[in-house]
Chains A and B, each alone.
Chain A
Amino acid sequence: MYPDDLKYSKEHEWVRMNGNIAEVGVTVFAQESLGDVVFVDLPEVGTDIEQFAKFGEIESVKAVSDLFSPVGGKIVEVNSEATDNPESVNTEPYGIGWLIKIELSDTAQLDGLMDAATYEATLD
């Protein structure tokens, strides 16, 4: 449910590092709470984002939630699969349902995030 190789924010986003690039998405808990995702509003490539700042919105049939970036930097890629087929966020939140990729401005920011066990404990 909460892969060990990822880091987590308290706003229910996850980060997968690949060199200096952070792949970001929402956790299983987030997509379950939202229900069927029908729309994802993501920023443009090239946008600078600060850690924990809002970068977009995710909409289900019954709710809208802000998306907060777990790390800061420059957005280098935005997942069109998530915008074209929002249900992918429900079916594969850690896979093809990823949302954005950020070029990290400061790797020390990762220390401000939780590991899988710590994150899962906060969900109770």
Chain B
Amino acid sequence: MLGVIGVDSLDGLLGDIPVEHRHPSLNLAPGLSEQELSSVFGAIAAENASSSNGYISFLGAGAYSHYIPSTVRAILQRGEFVTAYTPYQPEAAQGTLQVGFEFQTIICQLTGMEVANAGMYDGPTAFAEACLMAARVTKRNRIGVLSTTDDRLPDTLRAYSKYQGIEIVSIAPDATEIPDDLACIGIQSPNFFGQIEDVERLTDLAHANGALSIVHVNPTALGMFKAPGEFDVDIVTADGQPLGVPMAFGGPYVGLFACKKAHIRQMPGRIIGRTTDTKGRTGYALTLQTREQHIRRERATSNICTSTQLIGLMVTVYAATLGKQGMKDLANLCYQKAHYAASEINQLAGFSVSGKGTFFHEFVVTCAGDPARINAALLQRKIIGGLDISERSDNGMLVCVTETSSKADIDRLVAALSEIGVTA
């Protein structure tokens, strides 16, 4: 081959690199065997504070600890799914496409919305794209975001919209009036502080001003609370992580995105449709691709590329394993345990659970002292405390309780806080 291209040695290919930089010494340690390597990384992993070495966690704020049934891993690891590419060739991707279609169907059922896409990157980017979609639909460039959202939602929107002439306007959750030139009101419910927002009232307010209503939800909560679709919401987004995806240090996750059918042509992401082939057999294919960048280029609804279909598969298997009743039972467990924890913590001297409204499985504790110090003390007792949110709420700690916490675990947290609170 070197001869064919007229080069006399391998070094000849490197001619453009100065000789002194061609073969630098890398100072790597000698290679390890697989057994030795396993041992090295095993020791590093053992330093993690996780449930596998005796820690219990009450940390949520966007990534949630839920039990993942073994069905998820069993199907996820099948080579047919793990190695499948983005399904642009339907004749070679019916398995992937069918799973994606069922994924979309489940999202519609959970959210009460008419159409859903095959997944976005994660929750915050789904939210940002929803806001941009609202701007396109309404032809307005001012985006309202409720002040009670996770900061990462408007931050991600800001990153996406930086050069698009978009202005982000903060809206108070109890606002009775909004500017009449907003493209949307972006609501997170449950909000960052765990409280359920008045989605119905805010949606009516948005619509009265010609704006769209975007609601960013926690999909686990949909097993208990009214589906946003019932409030005439225009777009629903969420992070799919709570549905069968490990927390995994922040990703990969999958963003959920659903909207009204009337807006389907402005929806970003891939959409899978069900149809029949030339022999009349049911088949699946990507559809409405004229929204996407490989056809519309710079005028596409989004520049999203990488497919999160594999993570979507995990969500699909998880939801199918739990079923409708399972989702209800799960939501109820989280709700009951969180309310038990909140009630017990509220009785501790120096601690109080703030937030007057309804909450699902997260609540803010106003602590006896600096949450950072309390968390350090908790960690020494092998308890991972809630998120320190003292920047947004004085001495505030956002505590999350899911079905993975037993009553004994919660009692252990309460006892620890009681001890720590006295000395804080």
Contact = CB atoms under 8 A, between A and B. Distances in A.
Interface of A: 39, 59-64
Interface in B151-207: none
B265 A64 contact: no
Contacts of A62: 290, 295
A39 B299 CA distance: 16
Given A62-B290, A63-B290, 11 more contacts: A39-B265, A39-B290, A59-B290, A60-B290, A61-B290, A62-B295, A63-B295, A64-B290, A64-B295, A64-B296, A64-B299
A110 B307 CA distance: 49
Contacts of B296: 64
A44 to B, nearest CB: 12
Majority DSSP secondary structure for residues of B touching A? helix
Nearest to A59: B290
Contacts of A60: 290
Interface string B289-311: 01000011001000000000000
B289 to A, nearest CB: 8
Interface hub of B290, B295, B296, B299 (most chain A Cβ within 10 A): B290
Interface residues of B, number: 5
Interface string B243-267: 0000000000000000000000100
13 contacts: A39-B265, A39-B290, A59-B290, A60-B290, A61-B290, A62-B290, A62-B295, A63-B290, A63-B295, A64-B290, A64-B295, A64-B296, A64-B299
Nearest to B299: A64
A43 to B, nearest CB: 12
Nearest to A66: B299
Contacts of B299: 64
Nearest to A41: B265
B296 to A, nearest CB: 5
A63 B292 CA distance: 10
A35 B236 CA distance: 34
Contacts of A59: 290
Contacts of B295: 62-64
B286 to A, nearest CB: 11
B47 to A, nearest CB: 53
A31 to B, nearest CB: 16
A64 B290 CA distance: 6
Contacts of A61: 290
A61 B288 CA distance: 8
A38 to B, nearest CB: 8
A109 to B, nearest CB: 27
Contacts of A64: 290, 295-296, 299
A5 B215 CA distance: 54
A109 B265 CA distance: 34
A106 B278 CA distance: 51
A101 to B, nearest CB: 24
B22 to A, nearest CB: 48
Contacts of B265: 39
A59 B291 CA distance: 10
A63 B296 CA distance: 7
A94 to B, nearest CB: 25
A30 B276 CA distance: 28
Nearest to B300: A64
Contacts of A39: 265, 290
A30 B291 CA distance: 20
A62 B296 CA distance: 10
A89 to B, nearest CB: 15
B133 to A, nearest CB: 16
A40 B295 CA distance: 16
Which one of A39, A61, A64 has the highest number of Cβ atoms from chain B below 10 Å of its Cβ? A64
A61 B275 CA distance: 14
A60 B197 CA distance: 42
A61 B295 CA distance: 10
Interface in B351-367: none
Top 8 A-B residue pairs of the complex, sorted by shortest distance between their CB atoms: A64-B290, A59-B290, A64-B296, A64-B295, A63-B295, A62-B295, A63-B290, A39-B265
A16 to B, nearest CB: 28
Contacts of A63: 290, 295
B301 to A, nearest CB: 11
Contacts of B290: 39, 59-64
B299 to A, nearest CB: 8
B264 to A, nearest CB: 11
A92 B88 CA distance: 32
A60 B289 CA distance: 10
A47 B295 CA distance: 28
B293 to A, nearest CB: 11
B88 to A, nearest CB: 13
A29 B290 CA distance: 20
